[in-house]
Structures are given as structure tokens and as C-alpha cells.
Homo-oligomer: A and B are copies of this chain.
């Protein structure tokens, strides 16, 4: 086995932007760093790529370490590589975002890491280039969510329309007309209305909905083909 002589070998890190939703607000999970350098400052959860794993596996390992969760929606965002981005040593870091439902998993989060949920707009300043990572992940989330129904990953299994609307409004920092909103969502054919009502949010109670998982998975696959073959999408239900 030949090796490449005289080349630079450096640390490769993975940092996770973990988005969560509690039914009302969009949040991000941060930890207080437990080791030097920059000990005790707020940071994304991260770690170094190890010998026997690829980046996706590393991201999943790191997410599990902090939250105890597996099989979570994750996606690679971007490789960050400024020469002095890590004060201790040259390192490239690849950021990933993850989407989780806060209420369902809150108990499983490991408090070894002093993790806390922050409102996206009220988070503290982070170490290194982590602020930039969060900002890019937020844009990517907006972007993806506009063309793909990924935000359902942030919701509990059953949810109300206003929770869903709160989520979209949080992600896009705006408000939507609720009649137009529900019409559009319903036209995707992805929502199934349940008989049950959730009474926690109002006196009247709001109907719960759930995802049609079969259609949802089909739509995720079709993703990149959206330019042509809209007809296929239509047939597919």
C-alpha cells in the first residue's frame, strides 16, 4: 500500500446542530464544553472522526452520546476549514443538522454534557466558528423545509395544526394565514385527521393529525426529481 508522502494530516471533526421543537418554539441544543481549550464555554456537540467510521456514522455516534437517540433525521451541511478555526490545532469540521421532538426525548438527554435548549434567537455566543455553523444550518433548514416535508421530524407522532403552523412560523420567522396554511398542507395528502382532540391548548380542543408515513417516505425519495415528472408525483398517491 502506497502512502501519500509529505502531505498534511489533520484532525477531522463533526459538529451537530440539533434542532428541537416543543410545540411552540424552535430551539437548538447546546452544551457547555467540558474540556480545554475553551472549557465551560457554550458550544455545539461535536467530536473527532475515528478510524473505523465515516462522517455520517461519527455524527450519529455523537448525537447518541448526548441524547441517547438513534435513527434520527440527520444531514450533512458543510465542511468548515478556516486555518485557525480551532485555537488548539488545525482541524476541519463537518457540520450536521439533526431534527428531534423535544417533548418526547427530553428525559433521555445526557446531563454529563450540561446540555440546554435555547431559543434560536436567544442563544449565547459559541466557540470557534459554531455561530456560523448554526446560522448556515438554519438557512439550510429553511431551504430544505420549503421543498421537502422534513419538519415533521420535529413533531410528536400526533400533533395539532396550530403546532405545525407554529413550527413553520418559527423556522421562517414569519406568520401565515391559517386558512391558506392548512389548505396547502392538506393538499400534500400527507396528513391524516384523527378522531381525537387535544384539549391542552384551548377550551374547545383541536383535532390531532398524524403523518401518512407511506406517502411521506415516497415523497422523500422523489426529492431531486421535482423538475420533471410532476405527473409521477401526482400519480403516486
Binding site for B on A (CB under 8 A): 1-4, 7-12, 36-37, 48-56, 76, 78-79, 81-83, 87-92, 94, 139, 142-143, 146, 172-174, 224, 226-228
Contact = CB atoms under 8 A, between A and B. Distances in A.
A8 B11 contact: yes
Given A8-B11, A9-B10, A224 B143 contact: yes
Contact of A12 (B2, B83, B92, B142): B92
Given A1-B87, A142-B227, 13 more contacts: A3-B88, A4-B88, A8-B11, A8-B12, A9-B9, A9-B10, A12-B92, A51-B83, A52-B83, A92-B92, A146-B226, A172-B227, A174-B228
A73 to B, nearest CB: 17
Contacts of A55: 79, 81, 92
A51 B83 CA distance: 7
A40 to B, nearest CB: 15
Tally of this chain's copies: 2
A4 B92 contact: no
18 contacts: A1-B87, A1-B88, A2-B37, A2-B88, A3-B88, A4-B11, A4-B91, A7-B48, A9-B10, A10-B10, A54-B83, A55-B81, A76-B79, A79-B94, A146-B226, A146-B227, A172-B227, A172-B228
Contacts of A2: 36-37, 88-89
